[in-house]
Structure 1
């Protein structure tokens, strides 16, 4: 596995992908937390998502202060279902000429407690269908911002758990955690993985 550069190449664009399922019935699901983070990042950049022929909504913009830490970013929300995310992501990567190492997937993670973040580069998919599809399409060497949702209670099936909305108790802190995940994405793109990990992998 290749390691990403310690400091990102300022001239290379980034593709930041919020994973989720399209449609209002899925909008508030745990599985759609990647979309929630992407929406907040879009509001920070100051723009609206537009339809792209790659079956995705995209927003082009810049992240970071003027000067050497300013990065060109393409934010995306695939409009395929989660388990088919790889097609749109790979098409966008090729269209915008983004190095695979500059692709960031924001996704829900069952094996991490609710609200906890873990940033990593490469590795397995841990049973996540969105990552599985992306890895099948372009290999595993991209960044992940993993947003903890915890395990399902009792005997609830994983599929039922991730396709349910956050609980009322979780919703009280959801905005804060989504905000923090957005900060983590910005830190990753601007400062590189190691520095972002040292701040947010806690």
Structure 2
């Protein structure tokens, strides 16, 4: 792979305990993208599962990856993959849960603060403070009452949200594909 390659990182935690939690929506979106391409992950030597592909006939080269470690340590494998495959951090797309968006909303942005998201903080730290990567923010909403945000994102979606979750995952996967094929501005115009 060369410098025209994109890295799509889906954030989440490993293991069945976290598989269907709000914090793992990044993993779910990447699973959908791989399903669309008929591809499967392989293990890497940098603590991530990844697969390289070309998006459509003549489309961009893409590396899809999820960390095998916990969310708070996402930065190390992302940095290692960027370095190994010579991917410019400006061509990094991170798919993650976003408590500051209502459930079902999606926002695409480049750069900005991490908003308390430890996975994003880890990535920014391992990029030497560079925040100029693209984020696909999947809205999971905020907890009600006195529940701590950290506890909320580690819970499964509500019954109603579980019914709507497939559509959200599809829309996030569509957003990633739009970024790759039409560019970030066009993707924002269609998604927002």
Counterpart of 1:97 in 2: which secondary structure? Answer: coil
Match of 1:6 in 2: none
Q: Does 2:74 align with 1:59?
A: no
1:11 CA drift (Å): 6.7
Match of 2:171 in 1: 180
SS in 1 for 2:124: helix
Q: Measure, in 2, the Cα distance between the counterparts of 1:100 and 1:181.
A: 20
Scaled by the length of structure 2, the TM-score of the pair is 0.96
Matched, 1:154 2:124: no
Query: What is the DSSP-based 3-state SS (H/G/I as helix, E as strand, rest coil) of the residue aligned with 2:13?
Result: coil
Alpha-carbon distance in structure 1 between the residues aligned to 2:144 and 2:37: 37
**Do structure 1's residue 44 and structure 2's residue 36 form an aligned pair?**
yes
Q: Does 1:132 align with 2:124?
A: no
**SS across alignment from 2:120:** helix
Give structure 1 stretches of 5+ with no counterpart: 1-9
RMSD: 1.1
8 Å CA contact retained: 1:37, 1:179 = yes
Q: Which of 115, 119, 132 lines up with 2:104 in the alignment?
A: 115
Specify the SS of the correspondent of 2:20: coil
Matched, 1:81 2:70: yes
Structure 1 residue ranges, 4+ long, deviating more than 6 angstroms after superposition = none
Q: Under a length normalisation based on structure 1, what TM-score does the superposition of the two structures give?
A: 0.91
Where in structure 2 are there 5+ consecutive unaligned residues? Answer: none
Indicate conservation of the 8 Å contact 1:11/1:71, yes or no. Answer: no
CA distance in 1, matches of 2:161, 2:118: 23
Shift of 1:142: 0.6
